[in-house]
Structures are given as structure tokens and as C-alpha cells.
């Protein structure tokens, strides 16, 4: 925890402090930022207050007085509920406006953690509560140079897995086989493990209408075989198998056949225009030093989809942040509140999953390639080599072998 940086941010935001509170290890944000030991049994409430100026303060129960011992600041111990309330009021004396893990109207569920009763208790001291969302983003979701490099390295490995996967599908199709979604997922698992990657679930391999389900995951009993004329989606995410590494997350589309049908290409181009519009909006606003909220980015992207007549099939939001613990670490960008900045990883996700007549799904951030003639190198690229698959300036969404 960088106390000086947090206090500087609090002063910049004209806040008197940031109050952390937890009960039974419910607040994962507090646990990560304050490096709390969640492996130990926790049965009592604790509070930790970071004022904009001065020393931090702790309020812990007599049964668990050690709860915040690793953190700086003066400690106060309570036993009864009256002592808790009196201690909290004393801890916050002089404060008028503080941040907590709350979210007005529950707009950002990831940070809407503090229960209503505790929020009422703090407000009862004459204190205004504001959401800590931007502070959380600044001190947890920002990437260091080392974080960024781990993200890029995972990306190089995943791009190679993607190439090998499409090459394998193409090989099996040319051999007159009908590879199943579940089989291809197993193939990807093997390649990802060989690359030293780790992941929580997935990847997704989805054929035709399965590609229209944002949360589809193949299983042995629902796996669909791939045949000539099918649309294929692969969505893969992973990070390096080492502490603190950052996830990488991509989605690609493929078509099995000699020529991509116009109905697929047309819908794909709509999704692509939405993605490009959102990226240009971010570049323009951030370059001008303007504040941008995730919901603003979502509105720009969604507007393109709606104007093209696909609004009713736009079932997901535009994106999410990426971190070390999970690929959707805080919230997705359709929510008002937090503001993306240059140091934060904001993914324009596969989120849209446009349904083309409810039969097929096109992801927003995906690329598309023609599978039948796709050979693929099967080789991992040198880290310094230009990779057109990850170059935002690459304008042709179809890679025909």
C-alpha cells in the first residue's frame, strides 16, 4: 500500500479520507489493496481509515485485535456494539466527505460492497459517502511496466495458440473429419499448458448459434461437430503462470468454406465499426485530457450497432478491465462511474455477440478468418516481431489462406 500516493489522490478528489470496512472477509477489494490475511478465520468487524492527511487509524474487535497489525496507524479496540459505534465516530471525527466501497443505485456492483446499515451508521455522523470506484481503479487496476509486459507476453503465447487452433481445425476438415467443440477446446488446453499459461475457465469454442451465447462453454454432452459452411468462434484468455501476471483475452471468428457468406461479413463489419468507433472516441477524448466514463464508451459502440438495426440483438456490454486474478476484475464498461485512463487496460470485448437471425453470433472485438485454406505456421513468434493479428491498424478482418 502506497500511503503517500493514496493520500495525495484523496486530496486531489477533495475527500477527507477512505474508510475500509469488512466482516467475514466479504470485501475482496479491501483484502487486495490492504493485503489482508483472508486465510485466517474472521468473525468480527474491522475498520481501517486512511485520512487525506495524518496517520491512519484502526478499529478492531477484542477477539481479533491482530486483524490490522501489518498496517500503519493507531489501533483502537472495541468489544460491545456501543463501543464500536463510539469508536467509529471518534475515528472519523472531523471528516465531512469520505470514500467507501459503495455505489449509488448499485451502478457498479463490483464496488457496491458496504452493507446499507453500515453506510447509514457512517452517514449518521454527518458524513457524506462517495464511491471509492475511481480510487480502486487507480490503485488496483492500473498496470505497471512489469504488468504490461506480462500481459504482452501472455498475448504472444495466446496468439500462437489461436493460430495453431485454426490450423488444426482446417487440417481436420481437409481430412474429412468433423471436429467437435469439446475436442478443439481440449486441443487448446494442451497448447496453453505447454506455453506456461494458467486460466480459470474456458476457453470458448462455439459453432453457429452457440457463438451467439456470450457464456457458452463446450462440454462433452453438448458439443457440436464442425462441418463445411459453419461459423466458428474461439474466445481464449489466460495469463502467465506466475504471481501477479496479467490476463490476455482475445476472440476470433472463422468460417469453414471457400467464401465467407455476405450475411456473416455484413454483420461482422457492423461489429467492427462499433469497435473502431469506440476506440477512436477513447483516443480523441483522452488525447484532449477529457474525462471518459465506461458508459460513454459503451454508448458510442452501441450507437453504431443500434443504427445498423441490430440493437435488439446486442445482448452484452462493450468491455471490461483486465487484472491478475480474473479477466473481468471490476466491472464492465456499460456501467456509469469509473473512468478509464491511459495506464489501465480496458478491453473492448466480444461482448455484443450480435445474433444474425438468432442463428449465429458475431463478437465485437473479434477478427474473422477463412478456415478452409488456412494453414497456420504452428510456430511461436519472436517477441519483437510485428504481429498483424494484434495490430489495431490492420483493417482487413478476413485472413484468407
pLDDT exceeds cutoff 70 at 87? yes
Q: Measuring CA to CA, which residue among 283, 298, 341, 282 is closest to residue 135?
A: 341
Q: Which helix (H) or strand (E) holds 168?
A: helix 145-174
On average, the pLDDT of the chain sits at 83
Place of cell 490475511: 37
Sign of torsion, CA 203 242 326 301? negative
Pairing status of strand 57-61 against strand 197-198: unpaired
Residue 354, pLDDT > 70, answer no
**DSSP letter for each residue of 250-268:** EEEEEE-SSS--HHHHHHH
The arithmetic mean of pLDDT across residues 230-240, rounded, is 93
* pLDDT at residue 346 in the model: 52
DSSP notation for 326-365? -SS-S-BTTSSS----TTB-EEE-GGG-EEETTTEEE-SS
Q: Quote the pLDDT of residue 137.
A: 86
Residue bearing the bigger pLDDT, 72 or 363: 72
**In whole angstroms, how far apart are CA 347 and each of 85, 180, 248, 278, 279?**
42, 29, 9, 11, 10
CB burial of 59-74 (b: ≥16 within 10 Å; e: otherwise) equals bbbeebeebbeebebe
pLDDT of residue 301: 92
pTM: 0.75
Give the integer Cα–Cα distance in Å for 104 and 251.
Answer: 33
Task: For residue 379, give the DSSP letter.
Answer: -
Q: Which residue has the cell 460492497?
A: 113
Task: Quote the pLDDT of residue 141.
Answer: 78
- The closest of 178, 173, 234 to 203, measured between CA atoms, is 234
First-to-last C-alpha distance (Å) of the chain: 51
pLDDT band at 336 (very low <50, low <70, confident <90, very high): low
Contacts of 357 (CB under 8 A, 6+ apart): 263
- pLDDT tens-place string over residues 242-255: 988 999 999 898 99
- Residue 279: all three cell numbers together: 476506440
Does residue 94 have a pLDDT over 60? yes
Report the C-alpha gap between 247 and 325 in whole angstroms: 8
| Cα gap 248→153, rounded to integer Å | 9
| Confidence tier at 317 by pLDDT (50, 70, 90) | confident
Distance CA 266, CA 264 (A): 6
Kindly give, in sequence order, each residue whose CB lies less than 8 Å from that of residue 169, ignoring residues fewer than 6 positions away. 179, 184, 226, 232, 254, 256, 371
- Where in the chain do CATH 3.40.350.10 domains reside? 3-140
β partners of residue 361: 355
**pLDDT in the model for residue 233:** 93
b/e map of 212-241 (b: 16 or more CB within 10 Å)? Answer: bebebbbeeeebbebeeebbbbbbbbbbbe
What share of the chain in percent tops pLDDT 70?
81
Name the pLDDT band for 339 (thresholds 50, 70, 90).
Answer: low
CATH number attached to the domain at 143-400: 3.90.230.10
Question: What torsion, rounded to 10 degrees, do the Cα atoms 129, 130, 135, 140 define?
Answer: 80
Residues forming CATH 3.90.230.10 domain(s) in the chain: 143-400
Q: Could you tell me how many residues make up the chain?
A: 401
Question: How high is the pLDDT of residue 164?
Answer: 95
- CATH fold for the domain made of 3-140: Creatine Amidinohydrolase; Chain A, domain 1 (3.40.350)
**Does 256 or 356 have the greater pLDDT score?**
256
381 C-beta neighbours (distance < 10 Å), count:
15
Whole-number Å distance between alpha carbons of 160 and 215: 24
- The three three-digit cell numbers of residue 213, written as one number: 451465447
For 100-150, the pLDDT digits (tens) are: 999 999 988 889 999 999 999 999 999 999 999 999 988 887 888 898 999
pLDDT surpassing 70 at residue 399: no
Amino acid at each position: 500500500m502506497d500511503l503517500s500516493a493514496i493520500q495525495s489522490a484523496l486530496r486531489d478528489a477533495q475527500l477527507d479520507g477512505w474508510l475500509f470496512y469488512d466482516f467475514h472477509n466479504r470485501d475482496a477489494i479491501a483484502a487486495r489493496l490492504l493485503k489482508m490475511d483472508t486465510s485466517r478465520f474472521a468473525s468480527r468487524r474491522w475498520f481501517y481509515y486512511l485520512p487525506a492527511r495524518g496517520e491512519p487509524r484502526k478499529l478492531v474487535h477484542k477477539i481479533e485485535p491482530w486483524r490490522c497489525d501489518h498496517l500503519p496507524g493507531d489501533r483502537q479496540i472495541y468489544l460491545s456494539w456501543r463501543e464500536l459505534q463510539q469508536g467509529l465516530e471518534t475515528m472519523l471525527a472531523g471528516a465531512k466527505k469520505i470514500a467507501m466501497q459503495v455505489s449509488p443505485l448499485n451502478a457498479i456492483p463490483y464496488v457496491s460492497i458496504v452493507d446499507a446499515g453500515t453506510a447509514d451508521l457512517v452517514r449518521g455522523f454527518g458524513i457524506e459517502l462517495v464511491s471509492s470506484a475511481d480510487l480502486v481503479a487507480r490503485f488496483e487496476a492500473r498496470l505497471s511496466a512489469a504488468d504490461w509486459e506480462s500481459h504482452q507476453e501472455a498475448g504472444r503465447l495466446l496468439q500462437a495458440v489461436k493460430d495453431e487452433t485454426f490450423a488444426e481445425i482446417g487440417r481436420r476438415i481437409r481430412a474429412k473429419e468433423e471436429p467437435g467443440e469439446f475436442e478443439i477446446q481440449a486441443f487448446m488446453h494442451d497448447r496453453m499448458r505447454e506455453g506456461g499459461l494458467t486460466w480459470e475457465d474456458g476457453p470458448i469454442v462455439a459453432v453457429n448459434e452457440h457463438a451467439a451465447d456470450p457464456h457458452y462453454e463446450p462440454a462433452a454432452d453438448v458439443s457440436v461437430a464442425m462441418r463445411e459452411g459453419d461459423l466458428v468462434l474461439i474466445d481464449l484468455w489466460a495469463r502467465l503462470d506466475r504471481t501477479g501476471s496479467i490476463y490476455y483475452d482475445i476472440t476470433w471468428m472463422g468460417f469453414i468454406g471457400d467464401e465467407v457468406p455476405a450475411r456473416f461479413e455484413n454483420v461482422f463489419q457492423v461489429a467492427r465499426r462499433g469497435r473502431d468507433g469506440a476506440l477512436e472516441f477513447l483516443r480523441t477524448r483522452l488525447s484532449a485530457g477529457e474525462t471518459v466514463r465506461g458508459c460513454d464508451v459503451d454508448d458510442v459502440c452501441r450507437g453504431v450497432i443500434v443504427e445498423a438495426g441490430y440493437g435488439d440483438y446486442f445482448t452484452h456490454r462493450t468491455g471490461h478491465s483486465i487484472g491478475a486474478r480474473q479477466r473481468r476484475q471490476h466491472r464492465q464498461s456499460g456501467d456509469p462511474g469509473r473512468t478509464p485512463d491511459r495506464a489501465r487496460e480496458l478491453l473492448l470485448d466480444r461482448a455484443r455477440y450480435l445474433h444474425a437471425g438468432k442463428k449465429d453470433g458475431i463478437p465485437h472485438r473479434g477478427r474473422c478468418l477463412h478456415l478452409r485454406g488456412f494453414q497456420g505456421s504452428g510456430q511461436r513468434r519472436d517477441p519483437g516481431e510485428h504481429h498483424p493479428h494484434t495490430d489495431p491498424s490492420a483493417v482487413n478482418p478476413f485472413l484468407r489462406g
